[in-house]
Amino acid sequence: MSSQNEKPIIYVISDSIGETAEYVVRAAASQFNGGTAEIRRISYIDDHESIDEVVQSAKEVNGLIAFTIVVAELKEYLLKIAEKKQVKTVDIMGPMIDALQGIYKMPPKMKPGLVRKLDDEYFRKVEAIEFAVKYDDGRDPRGILKADVILVGVSRTSKTPLSMYLAHKRLKVANVPLVPEVQPPDELFEVSSKKVIGLKINPDQLNSIRKERLKALGLTAQANYANYKRILEELEYSERVMKKIGCPVIDVSSKAVEETANIILDMFRKGGER
């Protein structure tokens, strides 16, 4: 290998992007003189010729090859050629996969890029949750134009918990309360009606829910918020708005949030817009 005064040259190769291998190599190299190794990453290795080139280059500079190749045939070829050329290799993932196979009691998928797929799904979920918080309760109508789903309905029809549940399914959700005294945002009528989901509820149940809400806040149950006549006015108004939009409507009466969310997800799987 290189002398102490020279930078070691490490080839990081992968049949995917190779970020995992590079991160591990840099972390290990940081234990030696601040990690001054020269790392040359080669991604998406998928043929023998590419492996031949890397092994030959590593041999010429007395370098090391660190790899995350999960395709068995390519991995075997790399190990054979590297041994023949006397180039040292380090299998970053192999020992861990072997150990986990014993725990899971099943063979690994051996498909490149699964870590990145998991990362992408995680970040999409985080982005969707942040979106739901930002565009909750109609606080910024611009979110309507960016959303995958827009929930509309009167207060206490589970718009916010539904938004968060759907966000965990990686859908960007905006929700808009419908109040007779407030004109609905123009954006509601600019997006496809397939993206908008109306939520309706039985007036008796809504009356009960609102009374409980007022009690929780330490307010009298006689407040206008829980007034039955007022509730009927709000529901009639919201029905008119939903008809004008032309959106599908779900009756959330006696439905758990998960049940309503699954109905919405099913709508999208059957051809709703994303």
- 154 in a labelled binding site: yes
- 215 in a labelled binding site: no
Q: How many CA atoms lie within 13 A of 50 on its CB side?
A: 15
- 211 in a labelled binding site: no
- 260 in a labelled binding site: no
Radius of gyration of the chain (CA): 29
- 155 in a labelled binding site: yes
Give the Cα separation of 213 and 254 in Å (integer): 17
- 89 in a labelled binding site: no
Using alpha carbons, list the distances in angstroms from residue 190 to 150, 196, 202.
Answer: 12, 11, 29
List the structure tokens of 27: 């972390």
- 246 in a labelled binding site: no
226 neighbors 211 (Cβ within 8 angstroms): yes
The residues facing 151 across adjacent strands are 175, 197
Q: Which residues contact 86 (CB under 8 A, 6 or more apart)?
A: 59
- 158 in a labelled binding site: yes
State how far Cα 122 lies from the chain centre: 4
**What are the binding residues for ADP?**
153-160
**What are the binding residues?**
153-160
